[in-house]
Amino acid sequence: MVSVRLLDLFRTATFRLALAYVLLFAASVIFLLGFIYWRTAGFMTRQVDETIAAEVQGLSEQYRRRGLLGLRQVVIERAAASSGSSLILLTAPDGRSLGGNLARWPANAIVDEGGWIGFTFTRGGEQGLARGRAIPLQGGLYRLLVARDISDLALIEGTLRNTLLYALGLTALFGVIGGGLIARTVLGRLNQINQTSEEIMQGDLSRRIPIMGSGDELDELAKNLNAMLGQIEGLMTGMREVADNIAHDLRTPLNRLRNRLEGAMLARDTPDDTKLALENAIEEADGLIATFNSLLLIAEAESGAHRNTMEEVDLRSIARDVVDLYEPVAEERGIALTLSAPEAVRVRGNPSLVARAAANLVDNALKYTPTGGKVGVQIDPGYLRNDGPSIIVRDSGPGIPAPDRARVLDRFVRLERSRNTPGSGLGLSLVAAVARMHGAALELADNQPGLAARLVFPKALPIPQAAQ
């Protein structure tokens, strides 16, 4: 089980990303330490070579001035006074030592391409490593060896190499451990998201992704996903409520339609009575079609299906058309319908949906305003309020109590005193859906008496001088 979890951990993208970072960091460490090693060891080697070269030059000068005997005397003096790191030897043709602090010529000397000699030596019972130059004298019969003990330099170089390897190993170790911990943490958060998603797919729409409070990218992702899940839950709840409301509110008109058709078929009435029954049935069918059309418009508005049809809309022109449309209805009911729109006000929206929303507000006002009442339609540019333009419809009817104003925006909601009034309870729902699609707001307030419905749009577009 543990091996399976570790295998899953190693397969995560987070672990691979951490591992790639470790490799990049390790390469950087190798480059940095390699540069330090190259600079340090190179500097020390050059310093040793320069010291040997200076000594060779000085001894060569003594040989030219004083000859072999004089050089031997100098070698003996320097060997007696030399520090532990300075090595010097002068040998005869038969290999005997004529002077110096080395017993004999090194048998294991290795000459590199630059003419430098590397060899090991034993002095005081201890073996050391040296680097130097060999100078042939008198045609090679005599030889002079000038060298330096580089055992400490070799020790430093070895220490640097070991440090490089240890640093690389520790970097890789800590990187793998750190990558595993990071991957485990991220994998744990992702497992929470996956587990929540599985529970939601099983039908529990109330589940939400835990937020750790760290404010990192995963918390932001969890917040966005939770907001999305909240919207999905709201939509699903709305769909269930719509289905329940359709089943409840449309059962009565469908039964009434069926009964009328059945009665017309079975009754032996006159042709005029049959025609009247069929006309009533058609009226019921038209009401059902209107209800379904309203539901379709609400669904289209909430889904944003008409967002690509947005254009500049003149609210004054729409208000005039709606008032002209409902003016005969208002005269027939004895209601004064007025319009106040002194200037053109443009917003960005769908013309047909904005007109439908305005018509629903006016129709709702006329429906609940008694004979002799007033319905006023106003286009407010929003200058005084310092907000967007609005369509305001005021009536002198009974109004809507403040506790019910949010509820009446839901589908098929009708207050008790409105049960005997024709309608489906979708008028204000459609207006609210159109408002949401346009980024607008539907505000319901008390008109004292009556209701004041205000559809507030975002900031208005500037009106060209010619249009004004």
What one-letter code names the amino acid at 280? Answer: N
User: Residue 463: which pLDDT band, with cuts at 50, 70 and 90?
Assistant: very low
Q: What was the pLDDT predicted at 244?
A: 66
The larger pLDDT score, comparing residue 319 to residue 192, is at 319
Q: What was the pLDDT predicted at 375?
A: 93
User: Among 97-111, 150-164, 256-270, 312-326, which range has the highest average pLDDT?
Assistant: 312-326
Judged against a pLDDT cut of 90, whether residue 235 lies above it is answered with no
Report how far residue 40's alpha carbon sits from residue 168's, in angstroms, rounded to the nearest whole number. Answer: 19
Q: Tell me the two tokens of residue 252.
A: 């009565």
- Angle at Cα 373 formed by Cα 371 and Cα 378, nearest 5°? 140
Chain-centroid distance of CA 75 in Å reads 78
- Angle at Cα 376 formed by Cα 373 and Cα 380, nearest 5°? 160
User: Residue 1: which pLDDT band, with cuts at 50, 70 and 90?
Assistant: very low
In a domain, 465, yes or no: yes
Q: What was the pLDDT predicted at 172?
A: 75
Judged against a pLDDT cut of 60, whether residue 33 lies above it is answered with yes
Stretch (H or E) spanning 99: strand 97-100
Q: Tell me the two tokens of residue 368.
A: 């609940």
The larger pLDDT score, comparing residue 127 to residue 182, is at 127
Question: What average pLDDT does the segment 163-179 reach?
Answer: 77
Q: What was the pLDDT predicted at 307?
A: 66
Question: What average pLDDT does the segment 158-176 reach?
Answer: 78
In a domain, 288, yes or no: no
Tens digits of residue pLDDT in 388-435: 899 999 999 888 888 888 887 776 666 655 545 555 667 788 888 888
Q: What was the pLDDT predicted at 395?
A: 93
Would you tell me how many other CB atoms lie within 10 Å of the CB of residue 4? Answer: 8
Judged against a pLDDT cut of 90, whether residue 374 lies above it is answered with yes
User: Residue 378: which pLDDT band, with cuts at 50, 70 and 90?
Assistant: very high
In a domain, 184, yes or no: no
Q: Tell me the two tokens of residue 46.
A: 């050059």
Judged against a pLDDT cut of 70, whether residue 72 lies above it is answered with yes
Q: Tell me the two tokens of residue 103.
A: 């017993």
The larger pLDDT score, comparing residue 71 to residue 10, is at 71
For 458, phi then psi, to 5°, come to -60, 175
Which domain covers residue 438, as residue numbers?
306-468
Q: Would you call 90 exposed, middle or buried from its count of C-beta atoms within 10 A (0-12, 13-18, 19+)?
A: buried
Instruction: Supply the CATH number for residue 373's domain.
Output: 3.30.565.10
Tell me the CA distances in angstroms from 232 to 82, 229, 236, 383, one per residue in order: 91, 5, 6, 37
Instruction: Supply the CATH number for residue 74's domain.
Output: 3.30.450
User: Residue 464: which pLDDT band, with cuts at 50, 70 and 90?
Assistant: very low
Would you tell me how many other CB atoms lie within 10 Å of the CB of residue 346? Answer: 20
Q: Answer whether 0.75 is exceeded by the pTM.
A: no
Q: What was the pLDDT predicted at 48?
A: 84
DSSP tag of 461: B
DSSP tag of 465: T
In a domain, 231, yes or no: no
Tens digits of residue pLDDT in 342-357: 888 888 888 888 998 9
Judged against a pLDDT cut of 90, whether residue 265 lies above it is answered with no
Q: What was the pLDDT predicted at 119?
A: 87
Residue 421 DSSP SS3: coil
Total domain count, the chain: 2
In a domain, 361, yes or no: yes
User: Residue 4: which pLDDT band, with cuts at 50, 70 and 90?
Assistant: very low
Judged against a pLDDT cut of 80, whether residue 209 lies above it is answered with no
Q: What was the pLDDT predicted at 212?
A: 76
Report how far residue 242's alpha carbon sits from residue 72's, in angstroms, rounded to the nearest whole number. Answer: 117
User: Among 193-197, 205-209, 296-300, 390-394, which range has the highest average pLDDT?
Assistant: 390-394
Average pLDDT, the chain: 79
User: Residue 334: which pLDDT band, with cuts at 50, 70 and 90?
Assistant: very high
Among 123, 138, 167, give the residue marking a domain's end.
167
Q: What was the pLDDT predicted at 252?
A: 67
Q: Report yes or no: 129 and 154 within 8 Å, Cβ to Cβ.
A: yes
Q: Report yes or no: 370 and 315 within 8 Å, Cβ to Cβ.
A: no
Best CA proximity match to 378, nearest among 395, 364, 363, 366: 395
Judged against a pLDDT cut of 50, whether residue 274 lies above it is answered with yes
The larger pLDDT score, comparing residue 424 to residue 138, is at 138
Among 137, 167, 197, give the residue marking a domain's end.
167
Contacts of 371 (CB under 8 A, 6+ apart): 333, 334, 335
The larger pLDDT score, comparing residue 9 to residue 292, is at 292
Report how far residue 13's alpha carbon sits from residue 6's, in angstroms, rounded to the nearest whole number. Answer: 14
In a domain, 237, yes or no: no
Q: Report yes or no: 381 and 444 within 8 Å, Cβ to Cβ.
A: no
The larger pLDDT score, comparing residue 345 to residue 237, is at 345
Tens digits of residue pLDDT in 280-322: 778 777 767 776 776 666 666 666 666 677 888 899 999 999 9
Best CA proximity match to 190, nearest among 167, 164, 216, 171: 216
Classify 448 in phi/psi space as left (phi over 0), alpha (psi -120 to 50) or beta. left
Q: Report yes or no: 97 and 106 within 8 Å, Cβ to Cβ.
A: no
Contacts of 212 (CB under 8 A, 6+ apart): 189, 218, 219
Strands (E), 360-467: 374-380, 390-395, 441-446, 451-456
Contacts of 280 (CB under 8 A, 6+ apart): 260
The larger pLDDT score, comparing residue 446 to residue 257, is at 446
Question: What average pLDDT does the segment 63-73 reach?
Answer: 88
Among 151, 167, 183, give the residue marking a domain's end.
167
In a domain, 19, yes or no: yes
Question: What average pLDDT does the segment 328-344 reach?
Answer: 90
User: Residue 246: which pLDDT band, with cuts at 50, 70 and 90?
Assistant: low
Q: Report yes or no: 141 and 95 within 8 Å, Cβ to Cβ.
A: no
Judged against a pLDDT cut of 90, whether residue 338 lies above it is answered with yes
In a domain, 223, yes or no: no
User: Among 87-96, 325-334, 375-384, which range has the highest average pLDDT?
Assistant: 325-334
Could you give the dihedral angle defined by the CA atoms of residues 327, 328, 330 and 331, in that order, rounded to the nearest 10 degrees? Answer: 120
The larger pLDDT score, comparing residue 10 to residue 330, is at 330
